[in-house]
Amino acid sequence: MAGITLDLAHAYKANPQQDSDYALLPLKMAFEDGGAYALLGPSGCGKTTMLNIMSGLVQPSQGTVSFDGRDVTRLSPQARNIAQVFQFPVIYDTMTVAENLAFPLKNRGLAAARIQQRVGRIAEMLELSAQLDQRAAGLTADAKQKISLGRGLVREDVSAVLFDEPLTVIDPHLKWQLRRKLKQIHHELGLTLIYVTHDQVEALTFADQIVVMSRGRAVQMGAADALFERPQHMFVGHFIGSPGMNFLPARLQGQDLILGGQRLSLAGSALGAAMLARLAQLAEFTLGVRPEYVQLRPAQQPGCVEVQVSKVQDVGTYWLITTQLAGQTLRVRLQPQARPPVAGDRVWLQLLGEHTCFYGADEQLITAPEVLA
Ligand SMILES: Nc1ncnc2c1ncn2[C@@H]1O[C@H](COP(=O)(O)OP(=O)(O)OP(=O)(O)O)[C@@H](O)[C@H]1O
């Protein structure tokens, strides 16, 4: 197992001139030995490029990759001792399940008894024990991909196991089970696992630390609660959550916040002096608040804004209320209640509180402990 450090940038084209020429903009990042990480972001943001740079399938155009402090930038995937699992099964159809799982161990020259023991353990974890003697050719796509996962996990001596959207071909119900299983396997085997996905639920279920990526940039690395509670970049607020964070342009005038043409007194609000001083330096900034933290309040309550309800949806465990404030959409998640508002109503919302975030040029202006200080 190894800790992996990246200090690099990558462009597939020669002589990159502008940000959009890079698949990965300059970044410095450390993945700890034994950690479970997800690289999360939309299609084309650079996840696979980052994974392939770690495995050695792609050489970065600038900078270095280190394993436990040793520069491995020019080493092949074999020399880096990496296991990689791809979107589609990579197995030998003519071999049995057991032979497929044993293959990476035989290649390393392990003793037969040790191979049998390890194959048995991995098969049990992935619920493949009953199929060990079957030929892979006759198995379902789901079972074949489980074998691929098993082949990735079977060796104890790898530096890391890298997964590139490994559950794409898996049936939705089994997908849910396998995600949880992978997390359990991580705890049991203690391997360094790095997992690429564009699915936030997959990332949040599997990983202890998630790297959110957007257009070649790693915009935040953090645990699920940090990404939810304190997105450091507006993209994280937008991408994580269902629906994502609300964003509204805002400015300060004296002790009042101007939001959608309405004036909110900040007297008695939860915002601390440091935050107010920072906001006062800016002509305009963006207020971010998650739909979960917007509160419905009685009319004319100080510190609240008046909005018009445009849509009310019953989403089962909560109501999703869509409202409009001076041409901006603001979504609210409400617990089911006797009399939810209806489209066309005018209601009052409290947006300010300990969970409100502020952004300038897409970046969070001030971090968690200082917001209320
Ligand atoms: N071999 C290549 N040659 C040239 N450009 C490439 C190559 N591979 C990827 N790219 C480009 O680099 C950028 C990042 O691609 P990458 O595959 O790393 O993103 P991704 O986040 O993994 O997306 P996806 O989920 O669609 O695979 C994209 O603009 C892509 O078109």
Task: Give 10-residue mean pLDDT values along the chain (373 residues).
Answer: 93 95 97 97 97 97 97 95 92 96 95 96 95 95 94 94 92 87 89 94 93 97 95 97 96 92 84 85 95 93 92 93 96 86 96 92 76 49
**C-alpha 215 to ligand 1 mean position (Å):** 10
Ligand 1: atom nearest CA of 41 is 21
Ligand 1 within 6 A of 49 CB? yes
**C-alpha 157 to ligand 1 mean position (Å):** 30
CA distance 175 to 206: 12
**C-alpha 208 to ligand 1 mean position (Å):** 25
Ligand 1 within 6 A of 222 CB? no
Ligand 1: atom nearest CA of 50 is 18
Q: Is the pTM of this model over 0.90?
A: yes
Ligand 1 within 6 A of 53 CB? no
The full set of domains in the chain, from first to last, is 4-235 (3.40.50.300), 244-371 (2.40.50.140)
**ipTM of this complex prediction, to 2 decimal places:** 0.97
13, 19, 47: residue to mutate for ligand 1 pocket, most atoms within 8 A of CB = 47
In terms of C-beta distances under 8 Å and separation of at least 24 residues, what long-range contacts does 234-239 make, across chains too? 234/286, 234/288, 234/359, 234/362, 234/363, 235/362, 236/212, 237/288, 237/290, 237/357, 239/40, 239/41, 239/42, 239/200, 239/212, 239/214
